[in-house]
Structure 1
């Protein structure tokens, strides 16, 4: 757009001998239009951003009227006021100057008569020319970004082009405010990163950061992050704003092109593996579909099923995301690459809250060292995203010689992975043989299991006091220790006599003897079932 300083340099304005009466520091104000006002009541005549021209006929009179007239202009968002002296006023009245000064509106005095029509024509032409130039420059930078994308270039090249265009450091950050990539340009890394940190400090205080222009990078109707330009050695203007907006669009296209392709492929693989686990794919069809999905596993040995499940209930109820909204779909590329480094063929895809995996063992036999290595690679990939075994449970089944057997294995391992979300944290869980854990997890939402837990533990569950909570924890530790009191006391950090006292209170509350094997078995099942009901994903 056109600034007031630009207007003062127009030949027709210079001929009027303009003097800045007040507002020297505001000559960068943007002028959207020029308008002549000579009416005593200027209400509802402006839209904001105008240069108002007057000879003083409208506000002529007493200071009270002049103050009200000026306030009306200010309230409507006037950008600047220009007064031709001589015909009405010899000087701009103090009431007008004071009213504009309070609002930061510049006042210009013309010391030579001028035809206002010539000024309005010149200003309007300059505004339109500036808008056209802005549009043309915006189209040019958009064309350059498009060419980069078509040549297979990505975010680094887009940001480098933007940095050169706006002559300022540029930053790409994600939705959480973390730095993704930046190009500092001549100011250097230290100044650029310091300015970026200043933006976040200002925003943390609830303030609008100065010297920065931002544009959202939007993917699939949600904000992925922001592109920023930081004003250090170059003043950012409207062209820079357009350039940043076009760069954000180019970045979104690049991210979408990369991620959408991988996400579509990942979802296709996940859908196939889920159908395989449900027994809905014939052997021959399974082989063809796997090969079409890029899995060269046919004829390359047994298939090893693995399933990963988000551990924390808050992340998994009805969602396909884990910690901080990170989904298996987003992670699938990194995880597939990590597992492929074993030299084994990998077929991997997300389904609901699970990640389903098949590894073609080739000439290798199943052994614990191989599984340990696979688990190490899997959690190493998660670690690069700030995740670990406490966020996701990995279950590993036994090798299968056919696609049908692999599907059955996936189904069984998927149950085990779900059950493992409520168990103590380990790097991986052996799912080759279903156990009581899997059964309890499958039954976790049934009224029969709920009734069983209530019958076994009712008095302790219904207590609702800290004492009841302590007794429940004590019973759980005692049962986990296999009835070994010394081990249970160590786990609870208790003296043995204190443990004995608690165990007697438990027996009294439940009306049972902990020396009875059937009682202990029932209590153990109830305690473990209760863990699934409160801790496993639901």
Structure 2
């Protein structure tokens, strides 16, 4: 009788999402069917939990897990626990999974396949990989540990054999149960606020209801930092400080983000209830604000124009019409900024003051946790580069709350280029996420942005290997920091004294390194096209390394 693996697949999903080995390998032969059958069942509508909490579950502890790589990323959220021996499983995952692996396929895989396996799962943003050792795979291969550490991907060794079905049933059951409880709590918050709205409650009264319901002090703040309303969880008692961080959610009115809701939990507050309130409360508050503070035409137009710019809308006539009504159409150039904002007072006031200096015209809008600005410029004889540089200088001159980071996108001489400027500013924020920069220059991050836009790591890798392969191999063998030296030498325009100072090296030590570098590269001549290719390859490799460090 022919085996009906699809039936067992469905049964497996009901019992913890585990696929027996024979089902996994059969399914690999029908990847399209596998994707359609399992994707809706894995990680959907569940309340994630940090990986470090998953590792405390008794079924996982029984395996004596050992963290081999990615220890600093144990806070990653696990949305589902899944098991598979298929090496090309990454394309079938949604991201956020903890992958349990028996090691059968890894035992016979080549070094290159194992490294590619780690790279593909890291790119898919899985929460972690747990590999069972013993038998065919006595230890986790060192190349996998090194690559996972480079990519900051949590890699665990399971030193004792456990039944994967029991692990998945336990963890996935917890994830689902927490999700059910969260839905119940969210309904409770919704009902309380809906009853207040139906009874004609104003914004301040709704805030009182919310604060009492979730046991947290609540503040509703306008984008410029003005307090619209605030409420205490206990009007009669003091307001003890909680060790928990405030919970912040944007509040929208007719599609426009008009306020930020901040919940400061009291000690003992149910954090799952607060998380549910973050989802449900903004809708009720937005309705109340729409009733008491209707949007102006300028706010509606700005929202629509920025929406068209962000989405790349195909309505150029409408785009020009909105820009004309907002007074930014008849200008020489435009520059966009994107800021990530968090809880605090006066979140956007500083940015607004900076971008409006020197008579600049700007329109802005909060979109969830981002603050978008379009700055229209009249050049009046100055260059576009100089006008853009003055915006960056003004932003750096304005004190900002510690939660705020702002990026300035590329300038454009065409109104239609606003969307590109916004997108590149957003990309620059992502690239500079772990940096200490408060104001990020997207143009200065041109090569890392290009690397991300290419989306072809194979082609980029081949180009880097072609240009720098011998140098990188020499660096790997001797750990001589030769690549970093060459990169700094190029950035210092070939000035040896400045390079030595930047690297804190004696000049003789620098000369010795440069001799080894140039020999490895075939003694290229500065000013030639080969030198230009080396410069590009060096910047691409530096960007690739920085990207790997952030993952």
TM range (shorter): 0.3 to 0.5
Larger Rg computed on CA atoms? 1
TM-score by length of structure 1 reads 0.44
TM-score by length of structure 2 reads 0.43
